[in-house]
Amino acid sequence: MSESMHEEMHGDHMQWQNELSTWLDEVAAWKNEHKATSSDLSELREAFPRIEQKLSNYADAIQSHVQALDEHELALAEHERGGVGARHEEMTHMHAEQAAAHAKLRTDHARIATRHRLIRTKLEEIMELLNEL
């Protein structure tokens, strides 16, 4: 082998040693990050029952709104038939309250739906990446 070939080999070895050293440093950093991630996963696991409760509370709010709308619709029908019931001003006030409650639920629903899809998408991406390691 020629001297230039030896120099080239030595150069390769030095470059590889540098890369290997960098890789070992990166793996050490990844191990530390992995420990932090394990802690994050514990927090995530603890968050799911809270999220489940929030979703249950939200479903209850929707059911309550459905019931209030049904009651308002019945009261409105009774009012239109001239029966005993709320006066026109009361009906208008009740309707405005229902409209505000419905608008809030609409906003809440859009926010929850967006967050839910984002969480699901991110978790699916994470699971895919974990399976590729």
For 30, the domain range is: 3-132
Q: Which phi-psi region, left, alpha or beta, contains residue 102 (left: φ > 0; alpha: ψ -120 to 50)?
A: alpha
Report the pLDDT averaged over residues 7-19: 95
What's the token pair of residue 43?
């927090």
**End-to-end CA distance of the chain, in Å?**
41
Q: Which residue has the higher pLDDT, 46 or 91?
A: 46
pLDDT at 78: 84
Work out how many domains the chain is built from and give that number: 1
pLDDT at 100: 97
Does residue 86 register a pLDDT over 80? no
CA 52 to CA 16: how far, in whole Å?
51
CA distances from 61 to 11, 22, 88, 114 (A): 70, 55, 27, 18
